[in-house]
Each structure stands twice: as C-alpha cells, then as structure tokens.
Amino acid sequence: MSRSRGGRMLEIRPFTGTPEDLGDFVTGVWKQTYHGRMTMPDWTAEYFDWQLPSAPEARRDAVVAAYEGDRLAGVIIACPYEFQTSEGLVPGALSSWLSIAEEHRGQGLVGRLKDEQAARIRSAGGRMITAYRYVGSRRSLSRPLRERELASGEWACRKTGFWVRVLDSGRASRWHLDPLARTVTAVGAPFTSRPRERTCPSHELRPFADGDAASAAEVLAAADASRSLAIRWTAETLDRHCRGFGRCVAAVRDGRVEGLLAWHELTFFGRTADTVAVIDLVETQQLPAAARRALIDSALARMRSAGAVLALKIRTGDCDPFAMVAAGFIPWFRDSHLVVRWLDGPAPPGLLRGTQQVLWR
C-alpha cells in the first residue's frame, strides 16, 4: 500500500473489471499521453478478450492492477506462453500494456506493478518475461534498460525495427504523424503496387480452418527449433490465435498446412484514425519460392480489402527477407528494444542472438 498525491491509499490487487473496462482504461491513458504526438493503437474489448487467457483464473491473474479505492490507477498485463530456448521449453509470459493514469505517475507504481507481475509469474512456475520498449520517439515514456539491469545478468536485449508494407499510399500518407514517414510514403506512392490475391500450382491458399492447427503447429515447431527464442505454439493456442479476432491465410497441400501468415487488425491513431494490420507469424520455410510470394501477397490483399493502410511485422529474423522485399516490404529503423528478463538467475548466453519468433505487443 502507498498513498496517492490526494492522500488516498493505492493498492495493488487483481483486476476486477471486464475486457471493456480494460480497453477503455488502457486506450484512454495512452490517448491522454500520446494522441496527436505519437501513433498508438486503439485496444478494444474484443482485442483484450482475444489476447487474455480463456480460463477465468488465468485471465484474472494476467492483469495486475493498482486501485485508489474502487478507481483504477494503473495496470500491466502478462500473456502466458511457453518458449523454446537453448535450455529447452521454458514457461513464461509476454508483458505489455503498462498504463498509469497521469495523476498517479511519479509515485513508484511502475516498479510495484512490475514486481507484482514478476512474483505472479514466478508463483505460476514461469521463468522469463519478454517485452518490447519503444525508444523511437522523444514522446515515448518507455526507456532502454539501465546499466544496473544489464549488469545484473538477468536481462537480455536486442534492437529491432519493423518490416513496413504500405497498402494504401494516399491514406497512409495522411495518417502518418512522422514527417519523414509521410514524405517517404508520398514519394514512394507511384512505385507502391497494390497487392492482389494469387494462386500457385503447388498449394491451396485459403483462410485457416477447422483441422489446420495440428499441422500448422508442427510447421512452426520445425522452424523454431533453430531459433534462439520462440513461442511454442500448440494446436490449441494456434487455433485460438488464428481465428476470431485473429486472421490467417494458410498454404495447404494434401490436407496439411505447410505455410501460414497470421495477423490482426487494429485502429491506430495518427493524424487520422486508420486500420493497421499487425503481422504476428510468417512461416514459409517449407514452401517453394512461388508459393511464398503468393501466400504473402494474398494475405496483404486481404488486409487491404479490410481497410488497412499499412502492414507491420516486427523484424527479428523469423521470416524470409527476400520474400518480404519482393512483396514490397521495406525495413524501417531499429527503434524498439526486445527485452527478456530471466527470473531465476542469469539469462542463458545467446538468448537474443540469431533469430527469434516472439509476438510484438
């Protein structure tokens, strides 16, 4: 317990609201801080309902909240996953959506929420936490790891950026807050092709469907075996991720998935409010070159048809760069940090060397 500036007690305890309450609070805090200054998503109730664990007890434990009486003052959220590492399968969580109401900043809530989150993850058997820190704008409240954190040996960090594919040049140029991105988009408009759905002779390209999850999970497991860090997808978690709020195009041969591209769509606030497609998974290692291109183009065409002005994919080496460039993606600046905190001792050497497959949130 600690006191707010108004003298009332701030208490860290389980979140007792609904996904609607969570979406309203997180997006409201971020809009108050960043709207018109830095692009940011509109996280809706439907989005959080998709991201949070489905089991009621796990869902409750995923959100650590600070309350001033009955009033929400801050939250941090952890989505549990198993990760493939050099030490084998390691339970942990992806941490994001840290939100502190402006009137409660500067009172130590960030540290208290993170400490409580780490304690909950440890008590559930978790050994690691992944997160992203955006440092590409002076407006961002996120900061790089401090020297004492790096010196502790518990943390690993790598710089990363995005693959960016413009889907609608006119709308994207009007949407961008960053003058450089706005200029690049406008100048590049005559050279930006419109993605179209394609077919290929070797595979059927279609939406993710009943019965796809098991073979898709096997494809991801085979690719992730060579990565230094990767989410371990099961048929159950992949099925939930790729349907409903999530979208996915699968490349299927003889009834089995051999490649996939999964994404979700969110409204992002920039100079305007427009839809952005956030790509979560691009797995094409088992596909011939023509099928790789056809899969990516077909997914991009569906994103554009849904109204997306841009497609974004975090750049951690988990997809074929030649296929991405051929499909019209450009690598943007390395303005984010992927960080991992190891909870039971020093992080394994090389945890963030090579390639990783970790969701951006």
What DSSP letter does each residue of 119-183 carry, written as one string? HHHHHTT--EEEEEEE-SSTT----PPPHHHHHTSSEEEEEE-EEEEES-HHHHHHH--SHHHHH
Q: How sure is the predictor about 56, in pLDDT bands with cuts at 50, 70 and 90?
A: confident
Cβ(244)–Cβ(50) below 8 Å: yes
Last residue of a domain, one of 160, 190, 224: 160
Give the gyration radius of the chain's Cα atoms: 20
Mean pLDDT of 242-270: 97
For residues 258 and 262, give the distance between their C-alpha atoms in angstroms, rounded to a whole number.
Answer: 13
Dihedral of CA 208/210/212/217: which sign?
positive
Q: Report the run of H or E that residue 305 belongs to, with start and end.
A: helix 289-305
Does residue 31 lie within any of the structural domains?
yes
Same domain, 166 and 135: no
Question: pLDDT tens digits for 303-348?
Answer: 999 999 999 999 999 999 999 999 999 999 999 999 999 999 999 9
Residue 55 pLDDT: 87
343 residue type, one letter: L
Check whether residue 284 and residue 308 sit in a common domain: yes
Token readout for 231 is 């989410």
Question: Do 216 and 137 reside in the same domain of the chain?
Answer: no
Please tell me whether residues 115 and 195 are part of one structural domain.
Answer: no
CB-based burial, 25-47: b 16+ in 10 Å, e otherwise: bbbebbeebbeeebbbbbbbeeb
* CATH code for the domain of 15: 3.40.630.30
In a domain, 340, yes or no: no
Considering the domain architecture, whether residues 192 and 145 belong to the same structural domain is answered as no
Please choose, from the candidates 29, 24, 63, the residue with its C-alpha nearest in 3D space to the C-alpha of residue 44.
24
Mean pLDDT of the chain: 95
Are 156 and 166 part of one and the same domain? Answer: no
Cα–Cα distance measured from residue 78 to residue 112, given in angstroms and rounded to the nearest whole number: 15
Residues 298 and 180 in one domain: yes
- Give SS3 for 43: coil
| 361 found inside a domain | no
- Percent of the chain exceeding pLDDT 70 equals 98
Taking residues 13-39, report their average pLDDT: 96
Calpha distance 109→65 (Å, rounded): 10
Q: What residue numbers bound the domain in which 252 lies?
A: 162-332
Residues near 358 by Cβ (< 8 Å), separated by ≥ 6?
83, 94, 130, 229, 230, 231, 314, 316, 338
- 227 occurs within a structural domain: yes
Q: Is 55 helix (H, G, I), strand (E, B) or coil?
A: coil
| Pairwise pLDDT comparison (298 vs 59), residue with the higher score | 298
Residue 351 within any structural domain of the chain: no
The rounded distance, in Å, linking the Cα atoms of 167 and 165 is: 6
Structure tokens at 325: 């460039």
Domain's final residue, options 160, 181, 197: 160
Q: Specify whether 167 is located in the same domain as 86.
A: no
- 63 and 38 in a common domain: yes
Show which of 160, 175, 199 is a domain's final residue: 160
Number of domains in the chain: 2
Same domain, 108 and 198: no
d(C-alpha 209, C-alpha 282), whole Å: 17
Compute the distance between CA of residue 299 and CA of residue 305 in angstroms, rounded to an integer.
Answer: 10
One domain for residues 167 and 141: no
* 154-207 pLDDT per residue, tens: 999 999 999 999 999 999 999 999 999 999 999 999 999 999 999 999 999 999
Phi, psi for residue 235 in degrees, rounded to 5 = -60, -40
